[in-house]
Structure 1
Amino acid sequence: MFKTILMPIDLQHKSSWSRALPAARAQLGEGVELHLLGIVHDVGNAWVASYLPKGYEQRALEEMKAELDSFVARELADVDGVTTHVGYGHVAETIVETADRIGADLIVMASRSPDELRTFRIASQGDRVVRHSPISVLIVR
């Protein structure tokens, strides 16, 4: 049914992929592409960025790419044609933009169980992606 699947993951938090990966695998079939996305968060403040070492962003992007490739070799060695992507910026925005750029027709991602207080203070990334994505989003809990 789906041809191009995007799965954003945070390699620092196993919960971002441990349940979502089996759900993404279940969607794979002949001719289905799986794309993994790692995101380097935007510092969001020029003052804070001025304290970071020169070349911080580029090094962070390169390290993220290497870690994603290692993840694929370890967790998806049996799947052909997995593509890794590294984004930079706000998480939900980067996910939706990447899905559009690669022509994804499904986003598979993990999300924490709802917590009204946390959602009120800082809406979850999954919630933001669902609200702004023009394609189907499979949230796995």
Structure 2
Amino acid sequence: MRICDILVARSAEDFPHRSPNAARNGAVLNEGDHCRLLKPTASKGRHMFRKIMMPIDLAHADKLEKARTAGADLARHYGVPICYVAVAPSTPGALGHNPSEFAAKVEAFGSSEAERFGITVETKALTSHDPTVDLDNTLLKAVDDIGADVVIMASHIPNIADRLWPSNGGTIASRSKASVFVIRDN
């Protein structure tokens, strides 16, 4: 006599319920087999992702439309929050005269995305002495600080300079524990 388990789950944590009715649920059984069907539980609130981080450049937000839409769709699909992270220098600039003014613009952007896509949004405005040099390290630290397990980043079409300097998305993907989706807006 054989006993078989038919697994319909993503991970071992998804097996708490057992059903002796495996044959009625589509299992193929041989005569004399005893079977139990293990199904995932939807009530536990388990998701493939827990939190999405999306670095955003407010100066070029209009060029990030494809990545913004993909991130919002993923957040809505899994019912998880998306955290928009923006980095700017602490000196006055086009995005704000000081860090608090910059943070207010990031918050306003997040609110508009939440309303537009119907998703839960968090924002994080970070300052850096030189975002051009420190951006990768600042974003890597943000991934850990906010507890993101997936990062969605917009990217440009690769050019000759990318052979000499690594892309931000490539650096984040190679040095972070989070999954990274790099989306090109062709």
1:48 matched residue in structure 2: none
Runs of 4+ in structure 1 off by over 4 angstroms are none
Letter in 2 for 1:133: S
Contact 2:53 2:85 in 1 (8 A): yes
What is the RMSD of the two structures over their aligned residues, measured on CA atoms?
Answer: 2.3
CA distance in 1 between partners of 2:89 and 2:171 (Å) = 16
The answer to which structure, 1 or 2, has the higher relative contact order (CA under 8 A, 6+ apart) is 1
- Where structure 2 has 5 or more consecutive residues not aligned to the other structure, the ranges are 1-47, 129-133
Q: TM-score normalized by structure 2?
A: 0.60
CA distance in 2 between partners of 1:97 and 1:134 (Å) = 11
2:120 matched residue in structure 1: 81
The answer on 1:105 being equivalent to 2:149 is: yes
CA distance in 2 between partners of 1:64 and 1:91 (Å) = 16
Structure with larger Rg = 2
Where does 1:1-141 land on structure 2 (aligned, <5 Å)? 1-14=48-61, 17-29=64-76, 31-41=79-89, 59-77=97-115, 78-89=117-128, 90-115=134-159, 117-141=160-184
SS of the residue aligned with 1:137? strand
Report the alpha carbon displacement of residue 34 of structure 1 after superposing the two structures with TM: 0.9
Report the alpha carbon displacement of residue 15 of structure 1 after superposing the two structures with TM: 5.5
CA distance in 2 between partners of 1:120 and 1:15 (Å) = 26
Report the alpha carbon displacement of residue 102 of structure 1 after superposing the two structures with TM: 1.1
Identify if the C-alpha distance between structure 1 residues 41 and 133 changes in structure 2 by more than 3 Å, giving closer, same or farther: farther
Contact 1:107 1:138 in 2 (8 A): yes
SS of the residue aligned with 2:120? coil
Letter in 1 for 2:85: L
Report the alpha carbon displacement of residue 25 of structure 1 after superposing the two structures with TM: 1.3
CA distance in 2 between partners of 1:80 and 1:121 (Å) = 38
- Where structure 1 has 5 or more consecutive residues not aligned to the other structure, the ranges are 43-51
Identify if the C-alpha distance between structure 1 residues 109 and 16 changes in structure 2 by more than 3 Å, giving closer, same or farther: farther
SS of the residue aligned with 1:70? helix
Letter in 1 for 2:124: H
**Percentage identity across paired residues of the two chains:** 28
CA distance in 1 between partners of 2:63 and 2:168 (Å) = 11
CA distance in 1 between partners of 2:62 and 2:166 (Å) = 18
Identify if the C-alpha distance between structure 1 residues 75 and 102 changes in structure 2 by more than 3 Å, giving closer, same or farther: closer
